[in-house]
Chains A and B, each alone.
Chain A
């Protein structure tokens, strides 16, 4: 048998380095992108900084109440209020809003890129065959790996954190959009076609409305994945609850780490239940 150790080592690492080096020459493009993503981040952060904490808590509770009007989930509302008060009490409020900003920005970008990509995949088997392995790759490649080129392209701070989160968190949105559209019963597609719909009318009037709940499940998953990136992103300077956890690790501070971790859990549960409730809201 051929001993693979005796042949020359393939220079994969080299290739990738060259590729990244080559990409970094497009400074103008990446600067523009940095400014754009930075703009979104600042806008979210500005709003969160503007809203008084008590009002924020009232808004979250109010939205939950409205979204669950039929079921009246008082337990969830009580949890949200107590959880947010705890975060306030632990003095994590600004960190929490920074983390929320990171999650919302990543999810927004995932949505804007992921939904059209998912639609494209649903319309063409070839596109699907091309992107499926890419999506698998994006999701299974250890998230740390994205940090390195992210810093090369965007420097340090929130923007590379968002970049890495988007790559890691986008696949579920793409997949579920694709799946949701493909799951629309053939007969409904035929009905739409047989009455002379254009592709666009079919998409807007039939496919997307019927794929909505599957699509929203994908968005929910993307948000959860983005949240799971906050600690990793903190390593390249994305501020927030992740930074608290990261620092606690450095200082061997079990208590501090747990407190910050708990705040992430509370935030995760609130985001998860709220998006699910918004998804359920208009079903018949």
Chain B
């Protein structure tokens, strides 16, 4: 993965006597002490992070944590006090106004919490705004705009005005406006927070669907951990202008950096966050084209299991065999594993959330086999690992 965006030491101090506050901050004084001495507020305190190309990077925190300030420093809507933002290695802080405008036009688009739609413009004109100010001719503009509106499912609403649309639809327009520009980076500031829960969930799904094909680099600001866990490839948790923890959703859930994060994740429904891939363990396997019953029995004994998964040389799943049946074969001096294979194995793929298969897991006796899209066996899901994950324990994939 290549690094698309790199943020180094990014700091924002609001108020007067900024130089003095900066100095105090470097000396390691607390925010309260700095506020008391200089009257300046630390918005963001030396943020460092990297965002990979094509990922959804969620910046999470409660109000006042500095996340909105941070995202606005990335496109310099708020001028940072110190630090740098590198896009494809180019430092945004070093460029002049004109070059910054070009970056905003071509490389970054923003989606706003309250949609930020212009009430005096139609949906079409709103969506075309970014293209219009670049001076792109009307025909091209309309074509690109209509494509973007198609993507978000708002075809045919072009002549309406924002107030005529529901909140969810308005935010789709906001998203379409960002997509019409075809920028590589999307900055989404609490983009779904103003929507009702049902709409929000829909929009999250739609964003993930779009992302499958578009592979944009998305910086997503949220105060909702469930949202962060659902859509984020990486999550960065902020508190009082500082970064508390950065990691994958699984990292955050299994290895919270401190009590603050722990409290956050207390109420998370883990079954919706964890996928089959997260909880699967390595199965005991037998290659039906090479291995015989004795080897199968040996492996089962070594791993202390009563059944083994049968695959072919391409590692495609064939079925499952039971230790007692193998013992029978050995006694009969037969090598015909095929005769005892049970092909009725429940299967799933790595991306499936546990919540979707939880019922089946609890009902069938045979552990689920997790397959990739080539039908190759990747792992299996045993009840113990599922329960452990839901209880917050880390899964040892290779037990």
Contacts and interface: CB of A to CB of B under 8 A. Distances in A.
Interface of A: 185, 187-188, 190-198, 201, 205-206, 209-210, 284
Interface of B: 72, 75, 77, 101-106, 108-110, 112-120, 129-130, 132-134, 161, 163, 177, 181, 187
Contact of B104 (A187, A195, A206, A284): A195
Contact of B163 (A191, A193, A209, A284): A284
Closest 6 pairs between A and B when the two form their complex, measured CB to CB: A196-B105, A196-B104, A191-B116, A194-B110, A195-B130, A196-B101
Contact of A196 (B114, B116, B130): B130
Given A195-B133, A195-B181, A197-B101, 4 more contacts: A191-B116, A194-B109, A196-B130, A284-B161
16 contacts: A187-B115, A188-B118, A190-B112, A190-B116, A191-B116, A191-B117, A194-B77, A195-B177, A196-B103, A196-B104, A196-B106, A196-B133, A196-B134, A209-B120, A210-B118, A284-B163
A201 B133 contact: yes
A187 B118 contact: no
Contacts of A191: 110, 112, 116-118, 129
Nearest to B78: A190
Contacts of A196: 101-106, 130, 133-134
B163 A195 contact: no
Nearest to B75: A194
Provide the main secondary structure of the chain B interface.
mixed
A197 B112 contact: no
A210 B110 contact: no
Nearest to A210: B120
Contacts of A185: 114
A186 to B, nearest CB: 9
Contacts of A201: 133
Given A205-B133, A284-B163, A194 B108 contact: yes
Contacts of B104: 193-196
A185 B75 CA distance: 19
B120 A195 contact: no
Contacts of B75: 194
Contact of A206 (B112, B118, B161, B187): B118
Contacts of B101: 196-198
Contact of A190 (B77, B106, B108): B77
A280 to B, nearest CB: 14
Most buried by B among A191, A197, A201: A191
Most buried by B among A195, A198, A209, A284: A195
A209 B330 CA distance: 87
A282 B181 CA distance: 29
A284 B117 CA distance: 15
